[in-house]
Structure 1
Amino acid sequence: MAGFLGGLVKNALSNVYSSGVSGFTRLNINQFNNIEVLGSATQVRNNRKVYRQDRNPWKGVKRFEGKPVQEWFEWDGLGPYKYRPHHYSDNRTLKDVQRRRIFAKQHYHRSKLQDIFYNDILPKEVKDKAMNEIINMPFDSSIIRLVDRCVVTGRPRGNWNAFRVSRFVFRHEADHNRVSGAQRAFWLYNTHLKP
């Protein structure tokens, strides 16, 4: 990761230092092409008062028009991919599996770029480079794209996360004694309520 940070920041910092901008004395590129920013690039992450800005240049643009259709397992997260037969309850679950695959591949890289962007010490040129790279990444590499679905029905809401099933499935399984320790609430008799 240090080589990545060094490569990302090298050009922007050389422009900053050559133009004689002061105030960046805490940044240093050492002989190993790493950045030393008071210990790490994720160290200062306060002042998060960033108001919503429309930074996405792809808004309203058909971004992947003309891109060839990719195979399901070779999909890079950008553009269309082929449908494949599956054993899931519905196609939404298959799409969620694909999203989680892309997330597992690219989320670490995206989170490091976000750390660079939200850092208070780095110059604006470096932050803008990191944001441009984030914008060009697949949307599915973001954590907010993941939805916890029921593994039986594919339902996105009303799930019991401890069992990874929806409330309907849990109730049905508990009614047929397939969930250990689950018991229906019952208060018609043998219940002593003291006023």
Structure 2
Amino acid sequence: MAKTSSVEKNKRRRNLVDRYAAKRAELKAIIKNQELPLEERFRAQLKLSALPRNSSKTRIRNRCEVTGRPRGYYRKLKMSRVALRELGSMGMIPGLVKSSW
């Protein structure tokens, strides 16, 4: 089990990303628009940098939904390889058969 503080920090980051997603997309569109004057694009860049750092989508860490483990993460299942193996062995994941010999 991962530290509770790490998992909670990641949840706060996800909330910030959701809250600021529209504003960030709007500012990025202004910055990338080559037809606008340079000063206006620069002002948009300053506003974007004034937003919280954790509102950036790249700050989110993929973590296992079951254990909070950050490594060995399967995106499709939203869990780590360790949790997948344990739940698969218990027969909790439909369609997954763990072979053993």
Query: Normalization by structure 1: what TM-score?
Result: 0.48
Between the two proteins, what is the percent identity of the paired residues? Answer: 28
CA contact (8 A) 2:85 2:98 kept: no
User: Which residue of the other structure, out of 42, 46, 55, is the alignment partner of 1:141?
Assistant: 55
Determine the structure 1 residue equivalent to 2:7: 93
Listed as ranges, the matches of 1:9-158 within 5 Å are 90-158=4-72
Render the CA deviation track for 1:140-185: whole Å, top value 9, x for unaligned.
1111111111112211121122221110000001011111111124
CA distance in 2, matches of 1:184, 1:100: 33
Residue range with higher mean Cα deviation, 167-176 or 140-149: 140-149
Q: Is the 8 A contact 1:150 1:165 kept in 2?
A: yes
SS in 2 for 1:108: helix
Paired residues, number: 100
Equivalents in 1 of 2:75, 2:30: separation in Å? 33
Q: CA deviation at 1:89?
A: 5.9
Instruction: Tell me which structure has the larger Cα radius of gyration.
Output: 1
d(CA) in 2 for partners of 1:183 and 1:144?
34
Query: Is the 1:117–1:127 Cα contact (8 Å) retained in structure 2?
Result: yes
C-alpha contact (below 8 Å) 1:102/1:141 kept by paired residues: yes
Q: Point out where structure 2 has 5 or more consecutive residues left out of the alignment.
A: none
How far apart in 2 are the matches of 1:184 and 1:130? 53
The structure with the greater share of residues assigned to helix is 2
The yes-or-no answer on 1:182 pairing with 2:72 is no
Structure 1 runs of 4+ off > 3 angstroms?
A: none
Segments of structure 1 that go 5 or more residues without pairing to the other structure are: 1-87, 189-195
Relative contact order (C-alpha < 8 Å, sep 6+): which is higher? 2
The 2-side partners of 1:165 and 1:89 are apart by 16
Secondary structure at 1:183 match in 2: coil
